[in-house]
Chain A
């Protein structure tokens, strides 16, 4: 958001929360706190909280580096050290950050991990990432394998496999790291706080079904998911944040305000979009403005579901701690097969009454990106709603060609404008050639 735009209370609270977390991390060693590095999708934050462990999430650090224009340098460092230009830039950003002193997004030094908790869900690269970090930090690593929902469902066998690993592998590793036994009541308490926050977050998402939508569910949404995706799920602090956020959104509804944009409240909601794929972080506000200045509001997005499909009914259940953590890990968006992802997007397009959907296909994330061109066709066929498609990257500034992408977005919105006066017939297909290659080498 621009400096001169008044920030919401929840946003200020979130900033304080995140700043406080990095301060705790900077003091972790002197405070005798244990530090575990882990990932966002399918993470076991409540379990870490029950052990008083401080989590570090390398993806969050990488995206923060992207927003702070530091990722380009970090990636260059990693590539000079032999990492391929072809692979995930989150990984390279993290490696580069490590090789440049391992200073976190707020400028404080990040502590080295006491343990790497590899929750291997929805992304093969996670496994390689922590193999690389294990070699760098020479610390122990514990893996939680999360089966892929290849048939579009969580089977009892999958749930049992994940729950057994948590109980028999992860918990003992955490007990060894901390020298403490797991306090099951404490874990249940954490799970209770999670469920409360999840209730409020769902209310926030679903507010976007209104016209005008009081939120932007993608660009704005990435701020909303900050606490629950990262270190705060399972805390009272996070529950309070989401309560406050929900109240703010309800206030916006009461006063008829549209979504916030980088330039203040959206003056007009001209287009309602659903977005698939992560955002670009190096030019985040520029990217957002390409939509917001044209009156486009994102009413639902899949990226904001990589940390949990709460709006599809999942809630952490304190009565079944291992099983609920297993279900959470299994249910994250990128752990869904392509037919399920298409079905979810179709549902969002219909339920949120979207005028169009847009795919930002990022080079770094095959987990998201492979199949998106087919998803585009399939969604147009099923919904009659036209889709837009661009290619960029997560944190590699070389892959965000602003002028090119802006042209594409504008063309798409102009086409959408025309279409809104003549709805696309299901199966009719799409009139605009969409794929954009930014720095592609093929």
Chain B
């Protein structure tokens, strides 16, 4: 039941934008970052692991945030493997490989936000391997009380800004941060519009295309990314395509190490319209705009947004919430018919989360299937067959597994 649904490039007004996004994905030597630094002499470029990082804070001190997605399927891992045992996921290997090979040289520092023990320890490896480069671990709150976790997180953010300033970034000001937050909110709205279109007319914006357009923002300022997204949205409605009889699925588990783009395409070819996914979750973690409440500073607003609007994911403590409810709500909100669990091999947060989410889906009668990948997976036939069988099952039998 697979469907080829790509729009013919020659007739596609979005083709140049998608090509630009594809080039951004393949820019492992950070040429865009080098160009930005040439245009902004003395300004810092700060890398961060691809999950939630307060990018407006980095932009507010005149620095460029650069999401580091590892090497994907473009890098042969040689040195990186010698630093990690067989049972560790892939993204730290390729990140080390890129760093040791000099590909990350344009970065003046790296932030390692809390997500799991692997990334946490990677922050320490960085300190040992690159003692002359600035790096910081960012502990995010798991206590969501404003007076406890909120206070702690505010101090963490202020520390980051201070350390960046000490290394040449501009001083953090309320005005600067408010401006960066406004830029980020516009980007978030553009991504939300893209996601809405993808939900409404998934044949017009395939998940793999939406992925590329979001990924294009990894190493550019929010304003520039927004312009690209808006340009894409402006022509998306003109794309000549047609609706296919695919099943609508939500895909979860890929929030850190990224699936190869060809894996997403394989799922599409297998008859799945991915109407929501948690790939590149760092760009979507805050659900809705970051708002500066009366009497609160812009820095407080970053804290409040994380506490109050952070989306449910495996690395965020559920506290007294009901495990799996957020996923069920997501399925309903997107009119999805099933869930695909797509976790990176050896990804502790995703794989420890999965049985709990599966149990919740079973109780709600929502069909699901699962597989694992690595960022450099190159063979998709088995996954395609599995996803095809899943989509057929959902389409023919309502997914009663």
| Chain A residues with a Cβ under 8 A of chain B | 81-84, 86-88, 91, 120, 123-125, 127-129, 131-132, 134-135, 141, 143, 145, 147-148, 150-151, 157-158, 161, 164-165, 168-169, 337-339, 341-342, 361, 363, 366-367, 369-374, 378, 391, 435, 437, 440-442
Contacts of A150 in B (CB 8 A): 120, 123-124, 136-137, 139
Within residues 123 to 139 of chain B, which ones have a CB less than 8 A from any CB in chain A? Answer: 123-125, 127-129, 136-137, 139
Residue of B114, B121, B125 with highest tally of chain A CB at under 10 A: B121
Q: Would A374 and B125 be within 8 Å (CB), given that A124-B348, A135-B356 are in contact?
A: yes
Closest to B374 in A: A442
Question: Do B359 and A135 touch (CB < 8 A)?
Answer: yes
B114–chain A nearest beta-carbon distance, Å: 7
Question: Do B86 and A441 touch (CB < 8 A)?
Answer: yes
Closest to B120 in A: A148
A77–chain B nearest beta-carbon distance, Å: 12
Contacts of A158 in B (CB 8 A): 152
Question: Do B88 and A369 touch (CB < 8 A)?
Answer: yes
Closest to B344 in A: A86
Closest to B324 in A: A135
Question: Do B123 and A342 touch (CB < 8 A)?
Answer: no
Question: Do A81 and B86 touch (CB < 8 A)?
Answer: no
Q: Would A128 and B148 be within 8 Å (CB), given that A361-B85, A440-B87 are in contact?
A: no
Contacts of A161 in B (CB 8 A): 148-149, 151-152
Which of A84, A143, A157, A169 meets B155, CB within 8 Å? A157
Contacts of A391 in B (CB 8 A): 85-87
Which of B343, B347, B355 meets A83, CB within 8 Å? B355
Contacts of A91 in B (CB 8 A): 352
Determine the distance from Cα of A322 to Cα of B142 in the docked complex, in whole angstroms.
20
Contacts of A84 in B (CB 8 A): 343, 351-352, 354
Contacts of B86 in A (CB 8 A): 391, 437, 440-442
Which of B117, B151, B319 meets A123, CB within 8 Å? B117
Determine the distance from Cα of A151 to Cα of B156 in the docked complex, in whole angstroms.
12
Which of B143, B314, B317 meets A169, CB within 8 Å? B143
- 8 A–B contact pairs at CB < 8 A? A81-B355, A84-B351, A120-B142, A127-B142, A131-B352, A371-B121, A371-B124, A440-B86
Question: Do B351 and A168 touch (CB < 8 A)?
Answer: no
Q: Is the C-beta of B353 less than 8 angstroms from some C-beta in chain A?
A: yes
Q: Would A148 and B139 be within 8 Å (CB), given that A157-B155, A369-B88, A370-B122 are in contact?
A: yes
Q: Is the C-beta of B65 less than 8 angstroms from some C-beta in chain A?
A: no
| Chain B residues with a Cβ under 8 A of chain A | 82-88, 92, 114-118, 120-125, 127-129, 136-137, 139, 141-143, 145, 147-149, 151-152, 155, 314-315, 317-320, 323, 343, 345-349, 351-356, 358-359, 372
Determine the distance from Cα of A135 to Cα of B125 in the docked complex, in whole angstroms.
35
Closest to A78 in B: B355
Determine the distance from Cα of A441 to Cα of B143 in the docked complex, in whole angstroms.
36
Question: Do B142 and A145 touch (CB < 8 A)?
Answer: yes
B239–chain A nearest beta-carbon distance, Å: 39
Determine the distance from Cα of A366 to Cα of B119 in the docked complex, in whole angstroms.
10
Q: Would A82 and B143 be within 8 Å (CB), given that A337-B123, A370-B118 are in contact?
A: no
Determine the distance from Cα of A129 to Cα of B349 in the docked complex, in whole angstroms.
10
Closest to B114 in A: A148
Determine the distance from Cα of A131 to Cα of B360 in the docked complex, in whole angstroms.
13
Question: Do B318 and A339 touch (CB < 8 A)?
Answer: no
Contacts of A143 in B (CB 8 A): 142-143, 317, 319
Besides the known contacts A338-B128, A339-B124, A367-B121, 4 further A-B residue pairs in the complex with CB atoms under 8 A apart: A86-B87, A88-B348, A337-B123, A370-B117
Which of A141, A363, A370, A441 meets B121, CB within 8 Å? A370
Closest to B153 in A: A161
Determine the distance from Cα of A341 to Cα of B156 in the docked complex, in whole angstroms.
23
Determine the distance from Cα of A124 to Cα of B73 in the docked complex, in whole angstroms.
28
Question: Do A370 and B137 touch (CB < 8 A)?
Answer: no
Q: Would A124 and B349 be within 8 Å (CB), given that A157-B155, A369-B88 are in contact?
A: yes
In the A-B complex, the 8 residue pairs with the closest CB atoms: A338-B124, A440-B86, A150-B137, A128-B352, A370-B121, A84-B351, A366-B117, A337-B124
Question: Do A128 and B127 touch (CB < 8 A)?
Answer: no
Contacts of B82 in A (CB 8 A): 373
Residue of A135, A141, A158 with highest tally of chain B CB at under 10 A: A135
Closest to A337 in B: B124
B210–chain A nearest beta-carbon distance, Å: 28
Closest to B88 in A: A370
B49–chain A nearest beta-carbon distance, Å: 13
Contacts of B315 in A (CB 8 A): 124
Which of B116, B149, B318 meets A145, CB within 8 Å? B149
Question: Do B143 and A374 touch (CB < 8 A)?
Answer: no
Contacts of A88 in B (CB 8 A): 348, 352
Closest to B137 in A: A150
Q: Would A125 and B317 be within 8 Å (CB), given that A87-B352, A147-B152, A373-B83 are in contact?
A: no
Determine the distance from Cα of A161 to Cα of B58 in the docked complex, in whole angstroms.
25
A22–chain B nearest beta-carbon distance, Å: 27
Determine the distance from Cα of A120 to Cα of B140 in the docked complex, in whole angstroms.
13
Closest to B131 in A: A339
Question: Do A338 and B121 touch (CB < 8 A)?
Answer: yes
Determine the distance from Cα of A378 to Cα of B143 in the docked complex, in whole angstroms.
36
Q: Would A125 and B345 be within 8 Å (CB), given that A81-B355, A373-B85 are in contact?
A: no
Question: Do A125 and B351 touch (CB < 8 A)?
Answer: no
Question: Do B117 and A342 touch (CB < 8 A)?
Answer: no
Contacts of B115 in A (CB 8 A): 124
Question: Do A338 and B125 touch (CB < 8 A)?
Answer: yes
Contacts of A128 in B (CB 8 A): 314, 348-349, 352-353
Question: Do A338 and B127 touch (CB < 8 A)?
Answer: yes
Question: Do A86 and B351 touch (CB < 8 A)?
Answer: yes
Closest to B138 in A: A150
Determine the distance from Cα of A337 to Cα of B343 in the docked complex, in whole angstroms.
27
Determine the distance from Cα of A56 to Cα of B151 in the docked complex, in whole angstroms.
32
Question: Do B128 and A148 touch (CB < 8 A)?
Answer: no
Contacts of A369 in B (CB 8 A): 85, 87-88
Closest to B142 in A: A145
Contacts of A132 in B (CB 8 A): 352, 355-356
B3–chain A nearest beta-carbon distance, Å: 31
Contacts of A374 in B (CB 8 A): 83, 125, 128-129
Q: Would A124 and B87 be within 8 Å (CB), given that A84-B354, A339-B127 are in contact?
A: no
Q: Would A86 and B116 be within 8 Å (CB), given that A337-B124, A361-B85, A373-B85 are in contact?
A: no
Contacts of A165 in B (CB 8 A): 143, 148
Which of A145, A337, A361, A435 meets B137, CB within 8 Å? A337
Question: Do B323 and A131 touch (CB < 8 A)?
Answer: yes
Question: Do A339 and B128 touch (CB < 8 A)?
Answer: yes
Contacts of A366 in B (CB 8 A): 88, 116-118, 121, 348
